[in-house]
Amino acid sequence: MKQQLNMKERLTGAVLLCAIVPLAVMGYLLIVFVGLLGNVDRIRQGVYAMDHFVNATIFNGYAWESVSSHAWRDRDKPWAKFIIWLTDKFQENHCQRCNKREQGIVDLMMRKRLHEQNIGK
């Protein structure tokens, strides 16, 4: 039974990705275009969303947390040390500030168990 639920979740995820990926590419292109030529306030939320996407997929973090906040939580790991070093070039203590702002959200999501599987349950 658990095997069937896992397969249902995988198939649902694959179907959703077929719809989401083209829209994500369009969103990325809009971020670049508007970011270079237009009002950056419009695209700020899109940049946050891309940051969270990269954190969840590339850095195996939470979807509701930025790369910077995650780096501060895992600051002893080599990849996190690099992110902290790099972001400090642009804003001193950037990762620590992000983590201070986002840690409450991470704690709430974990307490509510929103990181667990929900498709097929």
pLDDT band, residue 119 (cuts 50/70/90): low
Q: Is residue 25 domain-resident?
A: yes
Range of the domain at 104: 2-111
The reply to whether 119 falls in a domain is no
pLDDT at 121: 62
pLDDT of residue 2: 57
**Average pLDDT of the segment spanning 19-27:** 88
Write down the pLDDT at residue 1.
Answer: 54
Which range, 22-26, 80-84, 115-119, has the best average confidence (pLDDT)? 80-84
User: Does residue 22 sit within a domain?
Assistant: yes
Both structure tokens of 57: 């997929």
Q: Is 63 inside any structural domain?
A: yes
- Percentage of the chain with pLDDT > 70? 93
Residue 44 lies in a domain: yes
Global pTM? 0.76
pLDDT at 55: 96
Q: Which residue has the higher pLDDT, 116 or 93?
A: 93
Residue 29 resides in a domain? yes
What is the spatial distance between Cα 51 and Cα 71, in angstroms, rounded to a whole number?
Answer: 12
Q: Is residue 121 part of a domain?
A: no
8 confidence band (pLDDT: 50, 70, 90): confident
Residue 45 in domain: yes
Count of structural domains within the chain: 1
Please give the torsion angle defined by the CA atoms of residues 50, 51, 57 and 62, in that order, rounded to the nearest 10 degrees.
-120
Report which secondary-structure segment, H or E, holds 67.
Answer: helix 67-73
